Structure 1
Protein backbone atom coordinates (compact mmCIF):
# COMPACT_ATOMS: atom_id res chain seq x y z
CA UNK A 1 0.00 0.00 0.00
CA UNK A 2 3.02 2.29 0.31
CA UNK A 3 3.05 2.97 -3.44
CA UNK A 4 -0.72 3.34 -3.81
CA UNK A 5 -1.20 5.37 -6.99
CA UNK A 6 -4.34 7.51 -7.07
CA UNK A 7 -3.48 8.82 -10.54
CA UNK A 8 -4.33 5.42 -12.05
CA UNK A 9 -7.88 5.76 -10.75
CA UNK A 10 -8.21 9.38 -11.82
CA UNK A 11 -6.97 8.67 -15.34
CA UNK A 12 -9.34 5.73 -15.78
CA UNK A 13 -12.34 7.37 -14.10
CA UNK A 14 -14.09 8.72 -17.24
CA UNK A 15 -13.87 5.39 -19.05
CA UNK A 16 -14.83 3.36 -15.98
CA UNK A 17 -18.01 5.37 -15.50
CA UNK A 18 -18.92 5.92 -19.16
CA UNK A 19 -18.30 2.30 -20.17
CA UNK A 20 -18.44 0.06 -17.11
CA UNK A 21 -20.88 1.76 -14.75
CA UNK A 22 -23.32 2.70 -17.52
CA UNK A 23 -23.37 -0.94 -18.63
CA UNK A 24 -24.00 -2.14 -15.07
CA UNK A 25 -26.78 0.38 -14.39
CA UNK A 26 -28.41 -0.27 -17.77
CA UNK A 27 -28.43 -4.03 -17.16
CA UNK A 28 -29.79 -3.51 -13.64
CA UNK A 29 -32.57 -1.16 -14.74
CA UNK A 30 -33.76 -3.20 -17.73
CA UNK A 31 -33.61 -6.46 -15.79
CA UNK A 32 -35.62 -4.89 -12.95
CA UNK A 33 -38.40 -3.64 -15.23
CA UNK A 34 -38.72 -6.92 -17.14
CA UNK A 35 -38.40 -9.08 -14.02
CA UNK A 36 -41.09 -7.05 -12.23
CA UNK A 37 -43.49 -7.63 -15.11
CA UNK A 38 -42.74 -11.35 -15.26
CA UNK A 39 -42.69 -11.65 -11.48
CA UNK A 40 -46.13 -10.05 -11.22
CA UNK A 41 -47.52 -12.50 -13.77
CA UNK A 42 -45.95 -15.41 -11.91
CA UNK A 43 -47.36 -14.18 -8.58
CA UNK A 44 -50.87 -14.05 -10.06
CA UNK A 45 -50.35 -17.52 -11.50
CA UNK A 46 -49.26 -18.88 -8.13
CA UNK A 47 -52.43 -17.48 -6.56
CA UNK A 48 -54.63 -18.85 -9.33
CA UNK A 49 -57.41 -21.27 -8.41
CA UNK A 50 -56.30 -23.39 -11.36
CA UNK A 51 -53.93 -25.96 -9.83
CA UNK A 52 -52.07 -26.62 -13.07
CA UNK A 53 -51.30 -22.91 -13.51
CA UNK A 54 -50.33 -22.55 -9.85
CA UNK A 55 -48.06 -25.60 -9.93
CA UNK A 56 -46.41 -24.44 -13.15
CA UNK A 57 -45.52 -21.07 -11.60
CA UNK A 58 -44.38 -22.74 -8.38
CA UNK A 59 -42.14 -25.10 -10.34
CA UNK A 60 -40.57 -22.17 -12.18
CA UNK A 61 -39.93 -20.27 -8.95
CA UNK A 62 -38.51 -23.26 -7.11
CA UNK A 63 -36.25 -24.18 -10.03
CA UNK A 64 -34.64 -20.76 -10.39
CA UNK A 65 -34.34 -20.20 -6.65
CA UNK A 66 -32.60 -23.57 -6.23
CA UNK A 67 -29.88 -23.04 -8.86
CA UNK A 68 -26.71 -20.92 -8.54
CA UNK A 69 -26.93 -17.74 -10.59
CA UNK A 70 -23.49 -18.27 -12.09
CA UNK A 71 -24.65 -21.63 -13.49
CA UNK A 72 -27.74 -20.04 -15.06
CA UNK A 73 -25.57 -17.31 -16.60
CA UNK A 74 -23.45 -19.94 -18.35
CA UNK A 75 -26.51 -21.93 -19.37
CA UNK A 76 -28.20 -19.05 -21.12
CA UNK A 77 -25.01 -17.65 -22.60
CA UNK A 78 -24.42 -20.92 -24.46
CA UNK A 79 -28.03 -22.05 -24.94
CA UNK A 80 -29.81 -18.87 -26.08
CA UNK A 81 -28.08 -18.80 -29.51
CA UNK A 82 -29.25 -22.38 -30.16
CA UNK A 83 -32.77 -21.65 -28.90
CA UNK A 84 -32.94 -18.59 -31.17
CA UNK A 85 -31.78 -20.70 -34.11
CA UNK A 86 -34.43 -23.31 -33.34
CA UNK A 87 -37.16 -20.66 -33.12
CA UNK A 88 -36.33 -19.10 -36.48
CA UNK A 89 -36.02 -22.51 -38.10
CA UNK A 90 -32.44 -22.07 -39.27
CA UNK A 91 -31.10 -24.90 -37.15
CA UNK A 92 -27.92 -22.90 -36.60
CA UNK A 93 -26.99 -20.92 -33.48
CA UNK A 94 -27.85 -17.25 -33.79
CA UNK A 95 -25.45 -14.76 -32.17
CA UNK A 96 -27.54 -12.79 -29.69
CA UNK A 97 -24.76 -10.89 -27.93
CA UNK A 98 -23.51 -11.08 -24.38
CA UNK A 99 -25.69 -8.22 -23.13
CA UNK A 100 -28.89 -9.76 -24.48
CA UNK A 101 -27.99 -13.12 -22.99
CA UNK A 102 -27.23 -11.52 -19.61
CA UNK A 103 -30.48 -9.52 -19.74
CA UNK A 104 -32.52 -12.67 -20.36
CA UNK A 105 -30.70 -14.48 -17.56
CA UNK A 106 -31.20 -11.80 -14.92
CA UNK A 107 -34.81 -11.20 -15.96
CA UNK A 108 -35.76 -14.86 -15.60
CA UNK A 109 -33.73 -15.35 -12.42
CA UNK A 110 -34.91 -12.25 -10.58
CA UNK A 111 -38.53 -12.79 -11.63
CA UNK A 112 -38.59 -15.84 -9.35
CA UNK A 113 -37.65 -13.67 -6.37
CA UNK A 114 -39.91 -10.78 -7.32
CA UNK A 115 -42.75 -13.29 -7.66
CA UNK A 116 -42.51 -14.35 -4.02
CA UNK A 117 -42.23 -10.75 -2.81
CA UNK A 118 -45.26 -9.64 -4.82
CA UNK A 119 -47.25 -12.73 -3.83
CA UNK A 120 -46.63 -11.91 -0.16
CA UNK A 121 -47.73 -8.33 -0.82
CA UNK A 122 -50.94 -9.46 -2.48
CA UNK A 123 -51.76 -11.82 0.39
CA UNK A 124 -51.16 -8.98 2.87
CA UNK A 125 -53.99 -6.88 1.38
CA UNK A 126 -57.06 -7.29 3.62
CA UNK A 127 -59.65 -9.66 2.19
CA UNK A 128 -62.38 -7.11 2.92
CA UNK A 129 -61.02 -4.74 0.29
CA UNK A 130 -61.14 -7.46 -2.33
CA UNK A 131 -64.73 -8.29 -1.39
CA UNK A 132 -65.61 -4.59 -1.55
CA UNK A 133 -64.25 -4.43 -5.09
CA UNK A 134 -66.40 -7.36 -6.17
CA UNK A 135 -69.40 -5.72 -4.46
CA UNK A 136 -68.83 -2.64 -6.63
CA UNK A 137 -69.14 -4.78 -9.73
CA UNK A 138 -65.45 -5.20 -10.56
CA UNK A 139 -64.25 -8.48 -12.00
CA UNK A 140 -61.07 -10.31 -10.89
CA UNK A 141 -58.79 -8.36 -13.21
CA UNK A 142 -60.35 -5.06 -12.20
CA UNK A 143 -59.96 -5.82 -8.50
CA UNK A 144 -56.31 -6.79 -8.99
CA UNK A 145 -55.51 -3.80 -11.20
CA UNK A 146 -57.24 -1.06 -9.21
CA UNK A 147 -57.27 -2.30 -5.61
CA UNK A 148 -54.91 -5.15 -4.78
CA UNK A 149 -51.76 -4.59 -6.87
CA UNK A 150 -51.38 -0.84 -6.11
CA UNK A 151 -51.48 -1.57 -2.36
CA UNK A 152 -49.23 -4.62 -2.70
CA UNK A 153 -46.57 -2.68 -4.60
CA UNK A 154 -46.78 0.22 -2.15
CA UNK A 155 -46.28 -2.07 0.83
CA UNK A 156 -43.56 -4.14 -0.81
CA UNK A 157 -41.56 -1.23 -2.29
CA UNK A 158 -38.81 -1.42 0.38
CA UNK A 159 -38.42 -5.18 -0.07
CA UNK A 160 -38.46 -4.88 -3.86
CA UNK A 161 -35.75 -2.22 -3.71
CA UNK A 162 -33.68 -4.45 -1.44
CA UNK A 163 -33.86 -7.15 -4.11
CA UNK A 164 -32.84 -4.59 -6.75
CA UNK A 165 -29.72 -3.83 -4.68
CA UNK A 166 -28.92 -7.55 -4.71
CA UNK A 167 -29.46 -7.55 -8.49
CA UNK A 168 -27.11 -4.59 -8.90
CA UNK A 169 -24.40 -6.46 -7.02
CA UNK A 170 -25.05 -9.71 -8.90
CA UNK A 171 -24.53 -8.05 -12.28
CA UNK A 172 -20.81 -8.15 -11.55
CA UNK A 173 -21.01 -11.89 -12.38
CA UNK A 174 -21.20 -11.06 -16.10
CA UNK A 175 -17.47 -10.48 -15.74
CA UNK A 176 -17.07 -14.24 -16.31
CA UNK A 177 -18.51 -13.72 -19.81
CA UNK A 178 -15.87 -11.07 -20.55
CA UNK A 179 -18.51 -8.34 -20.68
CA UNK A 180 -17.33 -4.86 -19.79
CA UNK A 181 -19.44 -4.10 -16.76
CA UNK A 182 -18.00 -1.91 -14.02
CA UNK A 183 -16.00 -4.73 -12.43
CA UNK A 184 -14.85 -5.94 -15.83
CA UNK A 185 -13.74 -2.43 -16.79
CA UNK A 186 -11.84 -2.08 -13.52
CA UNK A 187 -10.14 -5.41 -14.17
CA UNK A 188 -9.10 -4.34 -17.68
CA UNK A 189 -7.42 -1.23 -16.30
CA UNK A 190 -5.87 -3.20 -13.44
CA UNK A 191 -4.35 -5.78 -15.78
CA UNK A 192 -3.22 -3.17 -18.30
CA UNK A 193 -1.47 -0.94 -15.79
CA UNK A 194 -0.50 -3.60 -13.29
CA UNK A 195 -2.39 -1.78 -10.50
CA UNK A 196 -4.71 -4.46 -9.14
CA UNK A 197 -4.82 -3.06 -5.59
CA UNK A 198 -5.89 0.44 -6.64
CA UNK A 199 -8.55 -0.65 -9.12
CA UNK A 200 -10.18 -3.38 -7.06
CA UNK A 201 -10.29 -1.20 -3.94
CA UNK A 202 -11.88 1.56 -6.00
CA UNK A 203 -14.39 -0.87 -7.56
CA UNK A 204 -15.34 -2.14 -4.10
CA UNK A 205 -15.76 1.44 -2.89
CA UNK A 206 -18.10 2.33 -5.77
CA UNK A 207 -20.24 -0.75 -5.19
CA UNK A 208 -20.35 0.03 -1.47
CA UNK A 209 -21.36 3.68 -1.93
CA UNK A 210 -24.16 2.89 -4.39
CA UNK A 211 -25.47 -0.05 -2.36
CA UNK A 212 -25.26 1.84 0.92
CA UNK A 213 -27.07 4.87 -0.49
CA UNK A 214 -29.81 2.62 -1.86
CA UNK A 215 -30.11 0.77 1.45
CA UNK A 216 -30.57 4.09 3.27
CA UNK A 217 -33.41 4.87 0.87
CA UNK A 218 -34.94 1.49 1.68
CA UNK A 219 -34.81 2.25 5.40
CA UNK A 220 -36.55 5.57 4.88
CA UNK A 221 -39.27 3.88 2.89
CA UNK A 222 -39.67 1.22 5.57
CA UNK A 223 -40.17 3.97 8.13
CA UNK A 224 -42.69 5.75 5.93
CA UNK A 225 -44.72 2.69 4.99
CA UNK A 226 -44.19 0.77 8.21
CA UNK A 227 -43.19 -2.35 6.30
CA UNK A 228 -40.83 -4.90 7.77
CA UNK A 229 -37.70 -5.46 5.73
CA UNK A 230 -38.05 -9.11 4.84
CA UNK A 231 -37.11 -10.82 1.59
Structure 2
Protein backbone atom coordinates (compact mmCIF):
# COMPACT_ATOMS: atom_id res chain seq x y z
CA UNK A 1 0.00 0.00 0.00
CA UNK A 2 1.29 3.42 -0.94
CA UNK A 3 -0.06 6.01 1.48
CA UNK A 4 1.86 8.83 -0.20
CA UNK A 5 -0.93 9.36 -2.72
CA UNK A 6 -3.35 10.00 0.15
CA UNK A 7 -1.12 12.32 2.16
CA UNK A 8 -0.18 14.29 -0.97
CA UNK A 9 -3.85 14.85 -1.85
CA UNK A 10 -5.39 14.87 1.62
CA UNK A 11 -6.42 18.53 1.60
CA UNK A 12 -8.13 18.13 -1.76
CA UNK A 13 -9.92 14.93 -0.71
CA UNK A 14 -11.18 16.52 2.50
CA UNK A 15 -11.93 20.11 1.41
CA UNK A 16 -11.77 20.25 -2.38
CA UNK A 17 -10.40 23.57 -3.66
CA UNK A 18 -11.30 25.47 -0.49
CA UNK A 19 -10.19 28.08 0.65
CA UNK A 20 -8.83 29.19 -2.74
CA UNK A 21 -11.91 27.85 -4.51
CA UNK A 22 -15.20 26.11 -3.81
CA UNK A 23 -15.67 23.71 -0.93
CA UNK A 24 -15.66 20.06 -1.98
CA UNK A 25 -14.56 16.58 -1.01
CA UNK A 26 -15.53 15.03 2.30
CA UNK A 27 -16.66 18.35 3.79
CA UNK A 28 -19.14 18.96 0.96
CA UNK A 29 -20.41 15.39 1.20
CA UNK A 30 -21.09 15.88 4.91
CA UNK A 31 -22.82 19.23 4.41
CA UNK A 32 -25.03 17.90 1.61
CA UNK A 33 -25.89 14.80 3.62
CA UNK A 34 -26.84 16.79 6.73
CA UNK A 35 -28.87 19.33 4.74
CA UNK A 36 -30.71 16.61 2.83
CA UNK A 37 -31.37 14.67 6.04
CA UNK A 38 -32.77 17.74 7.82
CA UNK A 39 -35.04 18.69 4.91
CA UNK A 40 -36.15 15.09 4.37
CA UNK A 41 -37.07 14.83 8.06
CA UNK A 42 -39.21 17.97 7.92
CA UNK A 43 -40.89 16.86 4.69
CA UNK A 44 -41.37 13.33 5.98
CA UNK A 45 -43.00 14.42 9.23
CA UNK A 46 -45.25 16.93 7.46
CA UNK A 47 -46.29 14.44 4.78
CA UNK A 48 -46.72 11.61 7.28
CA UNK A 49 -49.00 13.74 9.45
CA UNK A 50 -50.90 14.77 6.33
CA UNK A 51 -51.39 11.11 5.38
CA UNK A 52 -53.06 10.54 8.75
CA UNK A 53 -54.82 13.81 9.52
CA UNK A 54 -55.54 15.31 6.10
CA UNK A 55 -58.78 15.29 4.20
CA UNK A 56 -59.36 12.20 2.01
CA UNK A 57 -58.49 14.05 -1.20
CA UNK A 58 -55.25 15.36 0.30
CA UNK A 59 -54.35 11.93 1.64
CA UNK A 60 -54.83 10.37 -1.78
CA UNK A 61 -52.74 13.10 -3.41
CA UNK A 62 -49.95 12.72 -0.86
CA UNK A 63 -50.04 8.96 -1.23
CA UNK A 64 -49.63 9.19 -5.00
CA UNK A 65 -46.81 11.76 -4.66
CA UNK A 66 -44.91 9.69 -2.10
CA UNK A 67 -45.39 6.49 -4.10
CA UNK A 68 -44.14 8.18 -7.26
CA UNK A 69 -41.06 9.61 -5.56
CA UNK A 70 -40.21 6.26 -3.99
CA UNK A 71 -40.41 4.61 -7.42
CA UNK A 72 -38.07 7.09 -9.16
CA UNK A 73 -34.34 6.23 -9.17
CA UNK A 74 -32.34 8.79 -7.21
CA UNK A 75 -30.00 9.58 -10.09
CA UNK A 76 -32.98 10.27 -12.38
CA UNK A 77 -34.53 12.68 -9.88
CA UNK A 78 -31.17 14.47 -9.56
CA UNK A 79 -31.14 14.98 -13.33
CA UNK A 80 -34.73 16.22 -13.29
CA UNK A 81 -34.03 18.72 -10.49
CA UNK A 82 -30.82 19.85 -12.17
CA UNK A 83 -32.55 20.72 -15.44
CA UNK A 84 -36.06 21.57 -14.15
CA UNK A 85 -35.37 23.89 -11.19
CA UNK A 86 -33.63 26.56 -13.33
CA UNK A 87 -36.62 26.52 -15.70
CA UNK A 88 -39.14 26.85 -12.85
CA UNK A 89 -37.32 29.62 -11.00
CA UNK A 90 -35.71 31.34 -13.97
CA UNK A 91 -32.26 31.30 -12.33
CA UNK A 92 -29.20 29.11 -12.50
CA UNK A 93 -29.60 26.83 -9.46
CA UNK A 94 -26.23 25.44 -8.25
CA UNK A 95 -25.75 21.72 -8.68
CA UNK A 96 -25.23 21.31 -4.95
CA UNK A 97 -28.69 22.69 -4.18
CA UNK A 98 -30.35 20.54 -6.84
CA UNK A 99 -28.79 17.42 -5.35
CA UNK A 100 -29.92 18.39 -1.84
CA UNK A 101 -33.44 19.03 -3.15
CA UNK A 102 -33.58 15.68 -4.97
CA UNK A 103 -32.29 13.73 -1.98
CA UNK A 104 -34.66 15.54 0.39
CA UNK A 105 -37.67 14.68 -1.79
CA UNK A 106 -36.70 11.02 -2.01
CA UNK A 107 -35.91 10.78 1.70
CA UNK A 108 -39.06 12.67 2.67
CA UNK A 109 -41.21 10.26 0.66
CA UNK A 110 -39.77 7.25 2.48
CA UNK A 111 -39.95 8.91 5.89
CA UNK A 112 -43.58 9.91 5.31
CA UNK A 113 -44.54 6.24 5.28
CA UNK A 114 -42.55 5.69 8.45
CA UNK A 115 -44.30 8.57 10.21
CA UNK A 116 -47.71 7.42 9.02
CA UNK A 117 -47.08 3.91 10.31
CA UNK A 118 -45.79 5.23 13.63
CA UNK A 119 -48.85 7.40 14.19
CA UNK A 120 -51.24 4.62 13.13
CA UNK A 121 -49.54 2.29 15.62
CA UNK A 122 -50.38 4.55 18.58
CA UNK A 123 -52.93 2.88 20.90
CA UNK A 124 -56.50 4.06 20.39
CA UNK A 125 -56.68 4.71 24.13
CA UNK A 126 -54.20 7.56 23.81
CA UNK A 127 -56.44 9.33 21.31
CA UNK A 128 -59.53 8.70 23.42
CA UNK A 129 -57.84 9.92 26.60
CA UNK A 130 -56.69 13.12 24.95
CA UNK A 131 -60.08 13.82 23.42
CA UNK A 132 -61.73 13.12 26.79
CA UNK A 133 -59.50 15.80 28.33
CA UNK A 134 -60.86 18.34 25.86
CA UNK A 135 -57.93 18.36 23.42
CA UNK A 136 -58.56 18.64 19.70
CA UNK A 137 -57.25 15.85 17.44
CA UNK A 138 -54.33 18.07 16.40
CA UNK A 139 -53.48 18.78 20.04
CA UNK A 140 -53.62 15.07 20.86
CA UNK A 141 -51.29 14.40 17.96
CA UNK A 142 -48.89 17.20 18.95
CA UNK A 143 -48.68 16.49 22.68
CA UNK A 144 -49.54 12.82 23.18
CA UNK A 145 -48.91 10.87 19.97
CA UNK A 146 -45.96 12.37 18.12
CA UNK A 147 -43.33 12.61 20.91
CA UNK A 148 -43.24 8.87 21.79
CA UNK A 149 -43.94 7.87 18.17
CA UNK A 150 -40.96 9.87 16.86
CA UNK A 151 -38.70 8.27 19.43
CA UNK A 152 -39.81 4.85 18.23
CA UNK A 153 -39.30 5.92 14.60
CA UNK A 154 -35.78 7.19 15.19
CA UNK A 155 -33.96 4.02 14.00
CA UNK A 156 -35.82 4.27 10.68
CA UNK A 157 -34.92 7.96 10.47
CA UNK A 158 -31.25 7.17 11.12
CA UNK A 159 -31.27 4.47 8.44
CA UNK A 160 -32.69 6.97 5.96
CA UNK A 161 -30.15 9.63 6.97
CA UNK A 162 -27.30 7.18 6.39
CA UNK A 163 -28.77 6.23 3.01
CA UNK A 164 -29.01 9.90 2.01
CA UNK A 165 -25.41 10.50 3.06
CA UNK A 166 -24.23 7.66 0.84
CA UNK A 167 -26.46 8.81 -2.03
CA UNK A 168 -24.60 12.13 -2.13
CA UNK A 169 -22.01 10.19 -4.14
CA UNK A 170 -24.47 10.36 -7.07
CA UNK A 171 -23.90 14.13 -7.23
CA UNK A 172 -20.93 13.48 -9.50
CA UNK A 173 -23.36 13.04 -12.42
CA UNK A 174 -24.05 16.79 -12.39
CA UNK A 175 -20.45 17.77 -11.72
CA UNK A 176 -20.65 18.44 -7.98
CA UNK A 177 -17.18 18.03 -6.46
CA UNK A 178 -18.17 15.81 -3.53
CA UNK A 179 -15.98 13.06 -2.10
CA UNK A 180 -16.42 10.48 -4.87
CA UNK A 181 -15.92 13.10 -7.59
CA UNK A 182 -12.64 14.43 -6.19
CA UNK A 183 -11.44 10.87 -5.51
CA UNK A 184 -12.02 10.01 -9.18
CA UNK A 185 -10.09 13.13 -10.17
CA UNK A 186 -7.17 12.12 -7.94
CA UNK A 187 -7.25 8.57 -9.30
CA UNK A 188 -7.31 9.79 -12.91
CA UNK A 189 -4.36 12.07 -12.21
CA UNK A 190 -2.24 9.49 -10.40
CA UNK A 191 -3.49 6.49 -12.42
CA UNK A 192 -1.48 3.88 -10.53
CA UNK A 193 -3.02 3.91 -7.03
CA UNK A 194 -6.75 3.16 -7.42
CA UNK A 195 -6.78 0.72 -4.49
CA UNK A 196 -5.32 3.24 -2.08
CA UNK A 197 -7.55 6.09 -3.25
CA UNK A 198 -10.84 4.24 -3.14
CA UNK A 199 -9.98 2.35 0.04
CA UNK A 200 -9.51 5.75 1.68
CA UNK A 201 -12.87 6.91 0.28
CA UNK A 202 -14.56 3.80 1.65
CA UNK A 203 -13.02 4.52 5.05
CA UNK A 204 -14.30 8.12 4.90
CA UNK A 205 -17.86 6.98 4.17
CA UNK A 206 -17.64 4.39 6.95
CA UNK A 207 -16.52 7.10 9.38
CA UNK A 208 -19.25 9.55 8.35
CA UNK A 209 -22.03 6.95 8.46
CA UNK A 210 -20.81 5.61 11.82
CA UNK A 211 -20.77 9.11 13.30
CA UNK A 212 -24.29 9.74 12.00
CA UNK A 213 -25.55 6.46 13.47
CA UNK A 214 -23.87 7.29 16.80
CA UNK A 215 -25.47 10.74 16.84
CA UNK A 216 -28.86 9.15 16.15
CA UNK A 217 -28.45 6.75 19.06
CA UNK A 218 -27.48 9.61 21.34
CA UNK A 219 -30.50 11.60 20.20
CA UNK A 220 -32.78 8.66 20.90
CA UNK A 221 -31.67 8.15 24.48
CA UNK A 222 -34.18 8.91 27.17
CA UNK A 223 -33.19 11.43 29.87
CA UNK A 224 -32.66 8.53 32.29
CA UNK A 225 -30.20 6.86 29.87
CA UNK A 226 -28.26 10.05 29.02
The structural deviation recorded for 1:211 is: 2.9
Asked if the contact 2:29/2:179 (under 8 Å) is kept, the reply is: yes
Alignment RMSD, CA only?
Answer: 2.1
Q: Say if 2:180 is the partner of 1:183.
A: yes
**Structure 1: which 5+ residue stretches go unaligned?**
86-93, 226-231
Q: Which residue of 2 aligns with 1:35?
A: 40
Q: Which residue of 1 aligns with 2:67?
A: 62
Q: Which residue of 1 aligns with 2:147?
A: 150
CA deviation string 1:151-183 (max 9, x = no partner): 111011111101111111111100111111111
Q: Which residue of 2 aligns with 1:166?
A: 163
Asked if the contact 1:9/1:198 (under 8 Å) is kept, the reply is: yes
The structural deviation recorded for 1:210 is: 3.2
Asked if the contact 2:118/2:149 (under 8 Å) is kept, the reply is: yes
- CA distance in 1 between counterparts of 2:8 and 2:86 reads 37
Q: Which residue of 2 aligns with 1:136?
A: 133
Q: Which residue of 2 aligns with 1:209?
A: 207
Provide the aligned length of Structure 1 versus Structure 2: 213
- CA distance in 1 between counterparts of 2:100 and 2:198 reads 25
The structural deviation recorded for 1:30 is: 1.0
- CA distance in 2 between counterparts of 1:213 and 1:145 reads 30
Q: SS at the partner of 1:47? A: helix
TM-score for both structures, normalised by structure 1: 0.84
CA deviation string 1:81-114 (max 9, x = no partner): 00112xxxxxxxx201111111111111111011
The structural deviation recorded for 1:187 is: 1.3
Q: Which runs of 4+ in 1 moved over 6 A?
A: 216-222
Asked if the contact 1:65/1:109 (under 8 Å) is kept, the reply is: yes
Q: Which residue of 1 aligns with 2:195?
A: 197
Q: Which residue of 2 aligns with 1:102?
A: 99
Q: SS at the partner of 2:9? A: helix
TM-score for both structures, normalised by structure 2: 0.86
The structural deviation recorded for 1:141 is: 2.0
Q: Which residue of 2 aligns with 1:90?
A: none
